[in-house]
Amino acid sequence: MYKVKVFVTLRESVLDPQGTAVKNSLHSLSYQEVEEVRIGKYLELTIAKTDRDLDVLVKEMCERLLANTVIEDFRYEVEEVVGS
C-alpha cells in the first residue's frame, strides 16, 4: 500500500485572489510580517499495491483530474506503507 501526497499550487504567473484575501485578514489580525500568501490543495491518496508503474499512475491522475495544468503545477511524494 502506498500513501501519496499531492501538492497542487497555482503557477507563479497566476493571480491568487484567495491568497490575497487571507493575507489581508492576517494583516488585520496584526500579523504585518506576512508578505505573501499562496493557497493550493493538498491531497493524500491511499493506493493499493499495483502492477502498474506508480509514478506514471500518479502523474496521469494529476494531469487528468487533480490539477488543471493550464494554471496549476503539481508535485507529489510517494511513501510505501509497510505491513499492509
- Which spans of this chain sit near a copy of itself (rule: CB under 8 A)? 1, 7-9, 19, 22, 25-26, 29, 31, 33-50, 52, 57, 60-61, 64-66
Query: Residue 31 or 79: which CB sits closer to a copy of itself?
Result: 31
CB-based contact 59:45 (threshold 8 Å): no
Q: Which residue has the cell 495544468?
A: 69
CB of 13 to a copy of itself, least distance (A): 15
Query: Residue 35 or 70: which CB sits closer to a copy of itself?
Result: 35
Sequence-separated contacts (24+) of 12-17 with Cβ below 8 Å:
14/71, 14/72
CB of 17 to a copy of itself, least distance (A): 14
SS3 76: strand
CB of 70 to a copy of itself, least distance (A): 19
Amino acid at 5: K
